[in-house]
């Protein structure tokens, strides 16, 4: 966490609500992680969290609930619980989209699913590249073992 604070020199203080990033942005210290939130609960969980004061939402295409998370965010925005600029929304690039030519499409898919015009942070989920899988074949791409796929490292 300290490495993400501006210049890595400021410690997290008790009661601190935001981290000052080197970019000049301020990221909320506490956020809601959406991993493992069931689809049928996700929209309401996100909406209620925003109503309670959460301003940082952590998502990823691999979680399989970005559409539902987006519905919760949209409900909070529509009801004027919060303004978009007061939220910090992070999502992540999955391992099957690491090649340069797939990054933009993956990000646009995430934006569409979340119903947002922009993300505050888009991370590489894991530094492990996997074989590309088109969205229309399998989405979310997830960890997937294909026993028929040849592993070039094993040849």
Per-residue pLDDT, averaged over 108-115, amounts to: 98
Q: What is the pLDDT of residues 41-66, one digit of tens each?
A: 999 999 999 999 999 999 999 999 99
Distance CA 82, CA 28 (A): 14
Does residue 127 register a pLDDT over 70?
yes
- pLDDT at res. 17: 87
Distance CA 150, CA 28 (A): 44
Per-residue pLDDT, averaged over 71-95, amounts to: 97
Half-sphere exposure of 91 (CA within 13 A, CB side): 26
- pLDDT at res. 154: 35
Per-residue pLDDT, averaged over 75-86, amounts to: 97
> Does residue 97 have an active-site annotation?
no
Q: Which of 63, 132, 139, 145 is catalytic?
A: 63
Per-residue pLDDT, averaged over 91-105, amounts to: 95
CB pairs under 8 A, 24+ apart, for 110-113? Answer: 110/59, 110/61, 110/66, 113/61, 113/66, 113/67, 113/70
List, in order of start, the domains of the chain with CATH numbers.
31-154 (3.20.20.100)
- pLDDT at res. 155: 35
């Amino acid at each position: 966490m300290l490495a993400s604070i501006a210049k890595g020199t400021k410690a997290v203080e008790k009661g601190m609500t935001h981290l000052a990033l080197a970019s000049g942005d301020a990221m909320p210290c506490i956020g809601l992680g959406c991993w493992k939130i069931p689809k049928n609960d996700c929209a309401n969980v996100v909406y209620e969290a925003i109503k309670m004061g959460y301003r940082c939402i952590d998502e990823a295409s691999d979680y399989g609930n970005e559409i539902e998370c987006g519905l919760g965010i949209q409900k909070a925005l529509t009801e004027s619980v919060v303004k978009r600029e007061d939220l910090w929304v992070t999502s992540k690039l999955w391992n099957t989209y690491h090649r340069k030519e797939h990054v933009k499409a993956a990000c646009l898919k995430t934006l569409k699913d979340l119903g947002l015009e922009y993300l505050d942070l888009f991370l590489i989920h894991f530094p492990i590249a996997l074989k590309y899988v088109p969205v229309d074949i399998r989405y979310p791409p997830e960890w997937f073992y294909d026993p028929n796929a040849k592993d070039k490292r094993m040849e």
